[in-house]
Amino acid sequence: MSFSDLKKKSSLGDLTSKLVKEVEKTNPQSNVDDRFWKPEVDKVGNGYAVLRFLPAPEGEDIPWAKMFSHAFQGPGGWYIENSLTTLQKPDPLGEYNRELWNSGTEEAKDQVRKQKRKLSFYTNVYVVKDPTNPENEGKVFLYKFGKKIFDKIMDVMQPEFEDEEAINPFDFWQGANFKLKIVRKDGYWNYDKSEFDNPSPLSETDEELESIWNKSYSLTAITAPDQFKDYETLKKRLNMVLGRNKRPVIDEPEAQTVHQRSVSEEEVLKKLEASYKESKAVPEETTTTDDFNKAISSDEDDDTLDYFAKLADS
């Protein structure tokens, strides 16, 4: 690089951005997980990349992992936890949300919506093109995404019309590149313009494909039991976040209001106690109320949860 080129590239913003990225790579205190690829957007809020979804890793059957989680702020702090409903097990917040919803008050239902589950998916991707960080190109990462992108995957796997040919986007030979297009809409990232390219092999040589496949990360490890806190630990955390450390926990009735709501805590907790045995066998999502199903699970994009996590750490 010549001195004149150096002068042309002199930019505080550009330099700062590059330095920050380098610090994140080397700082042992950083929360950045190098296994994950995450898109970036420009100042306007636009982002673009080309990814290839990879087959299931060796020894695993499904090319993605599914995780339910919660992220909300209460009087006692933030509750950012993986939900045990991911493992088809009773979850204290899931049970509490169901009881609040069944109380029938709009205030209780609003609280349920605030505390709802968030659905995220994880898969391995090969980065074909990353204009913002070209050093990522040709590498394998884990990619976390929300329901909107997952729906696009399902759309090509199960097309609606008979003149559309089904595609397995996770296939090395007959899959297709995914053109990730992000625009900012109403303050959030929007993926509506993202689309799959025409089917084509990721590589012409099996040797290269096998090399890429061998770099895949385990997906079953993401939802392994050790990634979840046990029921009692989650219940204690929930009580603290709800501001109940100085009052009985959620399974001990007391005639007080729930966060100054019109429905009494005693009423809610009696219902919770009555349905506890049933809830051990019935996952949160099996409730017969469609409106409740919609309220407890969010299809917001995955960057929302990351934003909450950053707020909690600040």
Distance CA 109, CA 246 (A): 25
Distance CA 297, CA 307 (A): 18
- Least confident stretch, 24-38, 103-117, 145-159, 168-182: 24-38
Please compute the mean of the pLDDT values over residues 1-17 and round it to a whole number.
53
Distance CA 74, CA 293 (A): 22
| Assigned domain for 43 exists | no
| Assigned domain for 233 exists | yes
| Assigned domain for 101 exists | yes
| Assigned domain for 10 exists | no
Residue 85: the pLDDT is 97
Please compute the mean of the pLDDT values over residues 193-200 and round it to a whole number.
97
- pTM to 2 decimals? 0.73
DSSP 134: G
| Assigned domain for 79 exists | yes
Chain segment 11-25, per-residue pLDDT in tens: 555 555 555 555 555
Distances (CA, A) of 241 to 24, 184, 212: 30, 32, 43
Distance CA 215, CA 232 (A): 37
Instruction: Write out the residue range of the structural domain in which residue 299 sits.
Output: 72-117+225-313
CA angle 2, 7, 9 (to 5 degrees): 95
| Assigned domain for 152 exists | no
Distance CA 192, CA 95 (A): 34
Taking a C-beta distance cutoff of 8 angstroms, is the pair 169, 156 a contact? yes
Backbone dihedral angles phi then psi of residue 302, each to the nearest 5 degrees: -65, -20
Beta-bridge partner residues of 67 = 120
At a CB cut-off of 8 Å and minimum separation 6, what does 165 contact? Answer: 159
Chain segment 264-314, per-residue pLDDT in tens: 444 444 444 444 333 333 334 334 445 555 555 554 444 444 444 444 444
CA angle 168, 171, 174 (to 5 degrees): 75
- Least confident stretch, 9-18, 100-109, 189-198, 266-275: 266-275
Distance CA 31, CA 15 (A): 22
Taking a C-beta distance cutoff of 8 angstroms, is the pair 210, 68 a contact? no
Please compute the mean of the pLDDT values over residues 86-108 and round it to a whole number.
94
Model confidence at 209, in pLDDT bands (50, 70, 90)? very high
175: left (phi over 0), alpha (psi -120 to 50) or beta: beta
Nearest to 127 by CA among 118, 138, 135: 138
Beta-bridge partner residues of 195 = 179
| Assigned domain for 19 exists | no
| Assigned domain for 295 exists | yes
Please compute the mean of the pLDDT values over residues 224-239 and round it to a whole number.
97
Residue 193: the pLDDT is 96
Query: Tokens for 117?
Result: 């589950």
Judged against a pLDDT cut of 80, whether residue 169 lies above it is answered with: yes
Tally of domains within the chain: 1
H helices of the chain, in order, are: 3-8, 12-26, 92-102, 106-114, 147-157, 206-213, 231-241, 265-274, 276-281, 290-296, 303-313
